[in-house]
Amino acid sequence: MASSGTNPWEVLRPVADAPARTRGRALQEALREAIRAGRLAPGTRLPSSRDLAADLGVSRGLVTEAYEQLTAESYLRSGRGAGTWVGDAVRAAAPRARDRAPRTRDARADFVPGSPDLSLFPRAAWAAAQRAVLAELPHRDLGYPDPRGLPRLRTALAALLTRRRGVAADPERLVVVSGVAQALALLGGALHARGIREVGVEDPGSPPHAELYAAAGLDVVPLPLDGEGLALGPLRRARVRTVVTTPAHQFPTGIAYAPRRRAELLEWARAVDGFVLEDDYDGDFRYDRDPVGALQGLDPERVVYTGSVSKSLAPGLRLGWLLLPEALAEDVTERKRTADLGHPALDQALFARFVEQGDYDRHLRRCGRAYRERRDALVSSLADHFPGTEVSGIAAGLHVIATLPERYGPEGRFLERVARAGVAVRGLEEYQHARGDDDPGLAPSASSTRARVRSDVRPRLVLGYAHLTPGRIRTGVALMARAAGE
Amino acid sequence: MASSGTNPWEVLRPVADAPARTRGRALQEALREAIRAGRLAPGTRLPSSRDLAADLGVSRGLVTEAYEQLTAESYLRSGRGAGTWVGDAVRAAAPRARDRAPRTRDARADFVPGSPDLSLFPRAAWAAAQRAVLAELPHRDLGYPDPRGLPRLRTALAALLTRRRGVAADPERLVVVSGVAQALALLGGALHARGIREVGVEDPGSPPHAELYAAAGLDVVPLPLDGEGLALGPLRRARVRTVVTTPAHQFPTGIAYAPRRRAELLEWARAVDGFVLEDDYDGDFRYDRDPVGALQGLDPERVVYTGSVSKSLAPGLRLGWLLLPEALAEDVTERKRTADLGHPALDQALFARFVEQGDYDRHLRRCGRAYRERRDALVSSLADHFPGTEVSGIAAGLHVIATLPERYGPEGRFLERVARAGVAVRGLEEYQHARGDDDPGLAPSASSTRARVRSDVRPRLVLGYAHLTPGRIRTGVALMARAAGE
């Protein structure tokens, strides 16, 4: 076999340079790759093992073994004593799927809410917990987990949520999930199985959640808010039996549900024999008074409570929890089992230890101090650069609503200008659910936030601040002011 | 307020002993707890803040604050200047769900397959990778992950799978999942969306997987095997367009699909415009020759490839992968996104590093040596204690099939006897799918394994050995022999 540029066996040449120990494997891989890539076409006859061995300077046994192995894998075919050919069983892969455009990260200032400050992630304490857990975890806990979660974590979480959030937390009713998205997906499936086909959602609210319900076969019915929470009239007229709410700090308006509305919402749920889902997405952060206890504590059989570490530690951990009424606990557990057999055990043990040792409380206190300072920087910057601005939803969470004076409006034009200046910021309107105005039961009432948003010429900005240092906040607000004044 | 045994405020007494710093919070929690537990009934009037403060020996401001907070949470109601009562918004939680019976773990010997040896988990190398990853991970990687998985892990996995398993692995077609269960759930949903309502499965096979398909709305059609893999005639008659297979080491029979059958299966998939799912559940372990390359490498557009670390490292890690044809890649990615937004980022970075540094290969070699020794111990013990036994499926994986001589049969009686002796072991029949014999397209052919299993009086045992030391294997086989001879 002569060595020439057009010799198809040339592609096997590098095999000779592989260390003797791995040469056989290298030959097999080179042959597979050449066949898959089409460089060795189906029907091509291979050299005899003796010739190829001589050509590559390897032992003949190594070539024979490669031919046998690839014949077993259908890459090659062998006739009885009649040589070896490239088989026709192999098809090349189609070109790769188009890459998605990555989210732009080059804004000069980014007020889009949703992320905590990832640089505050407690790496040292987390590393210590990792080390301790790996040293102490019994072997059997590396096996298939309880689909509800490790008992140790459910116990620690129940104590944590009872203490911090005032929920009625029974470890037997807790399911450890990979975040609120999974909580909604599992719950959506369980509701669908009970014949529920629609869920009411807050409007404005968190539009991505609607996709999660759609995946479970549920339609969402956007429901307007008033100053105290979900407006009751539209809720009753909508004839839904389940609503999703953010009572501690409504997303995105930032209002806390009024005590009266909390009680009324539970009365409604009992009357329609339905459920209220309480998404306690940022209930851990409240600055100027104690946190308002969770709605769930008032009626654990009507409220499904869910939360996660996405705002308190990091979304990348994908760890959350779901606290269920008796009526849903078993079905949701089964759905968690068929979805993924349960959450990673080491992660669960790690977070259990993190909570047990008080590390989680320490981290929340540290973040709370930092975020309060950032909120104050944002509020004072807004007062300096946009005098007359009303800021609401400031008592809790990781974002505020800033209603600018009329001279900055309308909202669309304001947002265009600041976007051109490189500031990423969202208006409240972007969080409204798209729906027809002819929706019969749901015509926005004069008192609803929705109606006010629509008719208002004052721009309303949803400003996330937790992920920004006070310095970047001040720079960002100044940039916005400059852009708005041009 | 006098202190007496029947004084309902007595439950608040421990508050006085709390450190001054946490006393306010302790009072609020004690009040909530008493109301939730029904010890303070709805309508109960609370003492004035002055009286309760004096009684507990705390400041009046602290009591006022507690009353205000619990009023905001609807635990209490306040009339205008008319005092404070326990509200009626609170309902107690129903009794907890019945605990499920835990799986018994007290067998004297346990040959049930499915688990690797968890005591071989490479804790030291894992801890080192954890430490390194936490030190090096950019902050942004703690944010919401790419639902397909971290690019770093997909790149490492593609190289690993190409090298070890001969797959055609494009990182853009890989989706990191939480294991084969999630892979099946996601894929089941994507197939359902394409109008596929039935999937063929190997019979005998892995019955729990049928539940996962059922959860996605798919019916399973059990298909018999012959000595070369899925029998083609019944497959064609069944009119399914998708089959799930374990070609490297069929579960549970242990056969490796013949080269010819592999090619025929792909021809079938092209002819029906369907898919073959390749569940490579234990393809990493092959003892007496090189691993047979994955079916996927032969036609990446017809084969969906899935695997996990459940047999190679530990099921509790809940980490796996799915390699998809172009036609399914986007839909499955979307389903992963709505299922849980993606796999935990730290776990992904950790495993990427573990693979990149060669730790995974080292671990597989170490386990491979241990498992080969265990397999040899099992085969020789069976030869000693059950002379005449045929052992098959020994070349790979973590279990074998032992066909005992006729004198030990029938299978049911044998299994009863050894169970009474405290040996956990399963017969091949337990892995057969339940179905009616009048199923038209699927009457078992004379050559099918199923037919042979049914008519055979020789017990066929599915013996997992990987999780047992050679000593425990020998003891277990001896125990079985004693029980069978009694």
Crossing angle of helices B359-385/B345-356, nearest 10°?
80
Per residue in A250-292, pLDDT (tens digit) is 999 999 999 999 999 999 999 999 999 999 988 889 887 777 7
Residue A316: its chain B contacts at CB < 8 A?
141-145, 344-346
- Residue in B97, B172, B297 nearest the CB of A326: B97
**DSSP states of B436-455 as a string?**
-TT-GGGPPPTTSHHHHHHH
What is residue A181's predicted lDDT score, i.e. its pLDDT?
Answer: 92
Confidence of residue B44 (pLDDT cuts 50, 70, 90): confident
Q: Starting at the edge strand that comes first in sequence, how are the strands of the sheet with A242-245 ordered? A: A174-177, A320-323, A303-308, A275-279, A242-245, A198-203, A219-226, A229-230
Contact A131 B126 (CB under 8 A): no
Contact A263 B163 (CB under 8 A): no
Per residue in A77-132, pLDDT (tens digit) is 876 566 888 877 666 555 443 333 333 456 789 999 988 999 999 999 999 999 99
Give the residue among A67, A66, A65, A57 at the shortest CA–CA distance from A20. Answer: A57
Give the residue among A478, A281, A451, A310 at the shortest CA–CA distance from A378. Answer: A478
Count CB atoms within 10 A of the CB of residue A312. 20
Query: End-to-end distance of chain A based on CA atoms, in angstroms?
Result: 76
Polymer length in residues for chain B = 486
Contact A230, A368 (CB under 8 A): no
Count CB atoms within 10 A of the CB of residue B45. 11
Closest residue of chain B to A338, computed from CA coordinates? B212
pTM (2 d.p.): 0.82
What is residue A7's predicted lDDT score, i.e. its pLDDT?
Answer: 58
CA distance linking residue B41 with residue B85, whole number of Å: 9
Instruction: Choose, out of A152, A174, A280, A318, the residue to mutate when testing the contact with B (most B CBs < 10 Å).
Output: A318
Three-state DSSP state, B213: helix
- pLDDT mean across residues, chain B: 87
Q: Starting at the edge strand that comes first in sequence, how are the strands of the sheet with B174-177 ordered? A: B174-177, B320-323, B303-308, B275-279, B242-245, B198-203, B219-226, B229-230
Distances (CA, A) of B305 to B184, B187, B295: 11, 11, 8
Position with higher pLDDT, B44 vs B3? B44
Q: Quick check: B449 pLDDT over 60?
A: no
Contact A230, A261 (CB under 8 A): yes
Mean pLDDT calculated for residue range B105-128: 90
What is residue B434's predicted lDDT score, i.e. its pLDDT?
Answer: 63
- pLDDT mean across residues, chain A: 87
Per residue in A449-478, pLDDT (tens digit) is 443 444 468 999 999 999 999 999 999 999
What is residue B99's predicted lDDT score, i.e. its pLDDT?
Answer: 32
Q: Which tokens is B121 given?
A: 């988990």
CA distance linking residue A231 with residue A242, whole number of Å: 14
- Residue in B126, B263, B290 nearest the CB of A74: B263
The rounded percent of chain A whose pLDDT value lies above 90 is 64
Count CB atoms within 10 A of the CB of residue B304. 27
Residue B163: its chain A contacts at CB < 8 A?
29
Lowest average pLDDT, out of A134-143, A384-393, B43-52, goes to B43-52
Kindly provide the b/e burial profile for residues A25-56, where b requires at least 16 CB atoms within 10 angstroms of the residue's own CB.
Answer: bbbbbbbbbbbbeeebeeebebbbbeebbebb
CA distance linking residue B255 with residue B257, whole number of Å: 6
Three-state DSSP state, A297: helix
- Residue in B179, B300, B338 nearest the CB of A212: B338
The secondary element (H helix, E strand) that includes residue A25 is helix A23-36
- Residue in B90, B298, B318 nearest the CB of A89: B298
What is residue A8's predicted lDDT score, i.e. its pLDDT?
Answer: 60
User: What secondary structure letter does DSSP report for A361?
Assistant: H
Q: Quick check: A193 pLDDT over 70?
A: yes
Contact A198, A240 (CB under 8 A): yes
Residue B259: its chain A contacts at CB < 8 A?
71-74
The letter for the amino acid at A386 is F
What is residue B156's predicted lDDT score, i.e. its pLDDT?
Answer: 95
Three-state DSSP state, A290: coil
Crossing angle of helices B345-356/B123-136, nearest 10°?
120
Contact A316 B346 (CB under 8 A): yes
CA distance linking residue A161 with residue A158, whole number of Å: 5
Provide the shortest C-alpha distance from residue B381 to chain A (in Å): 27
Per residue in B1-28, pLDDT (tens digit) is 333 334 567 678 778 778 888 888 888 8
Q: Quick check: B444 pLDDT over 60?
A: no
Give the residue among B73, B76, B102 at the shortest CA–CA distance from B88. Answer: B76
CA distance linking residue A116 with residue A112, whole number of Å: 11
User: What secondary structure letter does DSSP report for A286?
Assistant: B
Per residue in B129-177, pLDDT (tens digit) is 999 999 999 999 999 999 999 999 999 999 999 989 999 989 999 999 9
Give the residue among A62, A55, A54, A70 at the shortest CA–CA distance from A11. Answer: A55
- Contacts of residue A249, defined as CB under 8 A and 6 or more positions apart, other chains included, come to A255, A256, A281, A282, A283, A286, A393, A395, A396, A397
User: What secondary structure letter does DSSP report for A93?
Assistant: P
Q: Quick check: B299 pLDDT over 60?
A: yes
Phi, psi of A232 (to 5 degrees): -75, -40
What is residue B438's predicted lDDT score, i.e. its pLDDT?
Answer: 37
What is residue A45's predicted lDDT score, i.e. its pLDDT?
Answer: 80
The vertex-B208 CA angle with B202 and B211, nearest 5°, equals 100
Per residue in A205-221, pLDDT (tens digit) is 987 788 888 888 899 99
CA distance linking residue B292 with residue B276, whole number of Å: 17
Contact A193, A218 (CB under 8 A): no
Contact B445, B231 (CB under 8 A): yes
Mean pLDDT calculated for residue range B378-402: 95
- Residue in A212, A341, A347 nearest the CB of B179: A341
Contact B318 A340 (CB under 8 A): yes
User: How do strand B399-403 and strand B460-464 relate by DSSP bridges?
Assistant: antiparallel
CA distance linking residue A348 with residue A176, whole number of Å: 8
Phi, psi of B279 (to 5 degrees): -95, 100
